[in-house]
Amino acid sequence: MDFTQLQYIIKIAEENNITKAAEKLFMSQSALNQQLLKLEKELGTQLFRRSRTNWGLTEAGRIYVEGAKAVLQIKRETYNQIYDVAKVQKGQLIIGLTPGRGLTMFTAIYPRLHLTFPNLHIVPIEMRVRQQQQALARDELDISFITLANEHKTNDNYITLDREELLIAVPAGHPLSFKAAPPGKPYTVIDINELRYEPFVLMDKNSTLRAICDKIFERAGFIPNVLFETNNTSSITAMVESTFCCGIMPKYYISKDSRKLTCFALDYHPTWEVAIAYRKGSYLSEGAKEFIRLAQEYWKNVS
């Protein structure tokens, strides 16, 4: 079986365009097209509906791509198991990372992982949580670093690294700031209804954090005045510190030394999980296990 040919067809399907696929594969369009035509002649049917802007899969193409991905996944897991048995510390580890803290964690633990597994090909990919869950389901990731509430979990395996409280943040000069607890003391609990007429900066609607925030407002009985939506949690901190609005954010993004914002807790202390996920039934290589161990150690020190 020609594994390279499988990768060629998958890439054309991903890009929906043979020219873009060829560029990503660092080969000429004519060479890639010859590979495709050869395969279609062998199968006796077309795999793609050709057009100038869109190469959509035919039904036969869909079946081929699904099978190709399954074959490559079996190959990767088989090779990883053999490498582990042979103790050669090779193979490939594809890791999904959330933007922001995921990359920060990865850069902190990668040197130690590389020192233990110098020949392991590690592929970090920065993706949103739901994108990672979809990629896990398609066998495109080996492990996934994500943040989510329990109700957002899929049928994958989850290892909790930390459980993090979500806090209300207001600019330091806000009239409610006088209610805040002194530094080092537990956060003062407030009723979010006291901020019902204030503008808020929130994560965009595709984020797991936004889904939790929406439930917080639903529970409080009002629709927030959303001044700004962002896809970067750090932007919430920056916007609140700039005195433009209020926000809801995880403790991780709140600097202990910040004098530009004030934080409060909610009476029921909503939380979400910082976790590692991997597909149920999949093989965890020794490299993946070491990454998880290092991640657990990292979050134990960060928390």
Per-residue pLDDT of the chain (303 residues; tens, 9 = 90+): 678 889 889 999 988 999 899 988 888 999 999 999 999 999 999 999 988 778 999 999 999 999 998 888 888 888 878 877 776 667 889 999 998 899 999 999 999 999 999 989 999 999 999 999 999 988 889 999 999 999 999 999 999 999 999 999 999 989 998 899 888 889 999 999 999 999 999 999 999 999 999 999 999 999 999 999 998 888 999 999 988 899 999 988 887 667 889 999 999 999 999 999 999 888 889 999 999 999 999 999 887
**pLDDT one-digit tens code per residue, 234-253:** 899 999 998 889 999 998 88
Q: Which CATH number fits domain 3-65: 3.90.730.10, 1.10.10.10, 1.25.10.10, 3.90.180.10?
A: 1.10.10.10
Residue pair 57/47 in contact by the 8 Å Cβ criterion: yes
Closest C-alpha to 286, from 143, 133, 152: 143
Residue pair 222/193 in contact by the 8 Å Cβ criterion: yes
Tell me, yes or no, if the two domains 88-161+274-302 and 163-271 fold the same way.
Answer: yes
| Domain 88-161+274-302, CATH | 3.40.190.10
Give me the residue spans of the domains in the chain: 3-65, 88-161+274-302, 163-271
The CATH class for the domain spanning 163-271 reads alpha beta
CA–centroid distance for 115 within its chain: 25
In the numeric block, the tokens 């949580």 are attached to 129
Residue pair 275/215 in contact by the 8 Å Cβ criterion: no
Percentage of the chain lying above the pLDDT 70 cut: 98
**DSSP letters spanning 17-86:** SHHHHHHHHTS-HHHHHHHHHHHHHHHTS-SEE--SS--EE-HHHHHHHHHHHHHHHHHHHHHHHHHHHH
